[in-house]
Amino acid sequence: MFPLEKIHELETIVGPRHFSAQMMLEYVPTERIHLDPGAINFYSNEFNSHFAKIGDHEISGVSFYWDPSSGRVKSDGSVCALVYRDDKNKTVFVHDMLYTTVSDEDLYPLANQCETVLRFMQEHNLNRIGIEINGIGNALPEIIRNIAVQQHIPINIIQISNHTKKETRILNAIEPILTTGRLYMHERIKQTMLLSEMLAWTPMGSNEHDDGLDAVAGALAMNATPVKSANFRNQIIHANTEFKL
Helix axes 109-123, 140-150, angle to 10 degrees: 60
Q: How confident is the model at residue 161 (pLDDT cuts 50, 70, 90)?
A: very high
State the pLDDT at residue 15: 64
Output the pLDDT for position 50.
93
CA distances from 36 to 12, 129, 177, 193 (A): 17, 28, 12, 14
- Domains of the chain from N-terminus onward: 1-32 (no CATH), 43-226 (3.30.420.320)
Strand, coil or helix: what is 162? coil
CA-based nearest residue to 130, from 152, 155, 151: 155
What per-residue confidence (pLDDT) applies to 41? 97
Return the pLDDT at 33.
74
Model confidence at 25, pLDDT cuts 50, 70, 90, reads: low
Contact of 211 with 79, CB cutoff 8 Å: yes
pTM score, whole prediction: 0.82
pLDDT score of 209: 80
Half-sphere exposure of 161 (CA within 13 A, CB side): 3
| pLDDT at res. 206 | 60
pLDDT given at position 236 = 57
Q: What is the pLDDT of residue 219?
A: 97
Q: What residues pair up with 86 in beta bridges, in sequence order?
A: 91
DSSP sequence for 128-156: EEEEE-SGGGGGHHHHHHHHHHHTT---E
- Per-residue pLDDT band at 230 (split at 50, 70, 90): confident
- Each residue's pLDDT tens digit, 178-207: 988 999 999 999 999 999 999 999 887 665
Give the pLDDT mean for 165-183. Answer: 91
Predicted confidence (pLDDT) per residue in 53-105, tens digit:
999 999 999 999 999 988 776 667 799 999 999 999 999 999 999 999 888 77
Higher pLDDT, 181 or 30: 181
pLDDT of residue 222: 95
What is the Cβ-side half-sphere exposure of residue 241, based on CA atoms within 13 angstroms?
A: 3
Higher model confidence: residue 48 or residue 234?
48
Which of helix, strand or coil describes residue 64?
Answer: strand
Q: Which of 19-33, 145-159, 162-176 has the lowest mean pLDDT?
A: 19-33
Q: What is the pLDDT of residue 120?
A: 97
pLDDT digits (tens, 9 = 90+) for 107-155: 888 999 999 999 999 999 999 999 999 888 999 999 999 999 999 999 9
Structure confidence at residue 72 (pLDDT) = 72
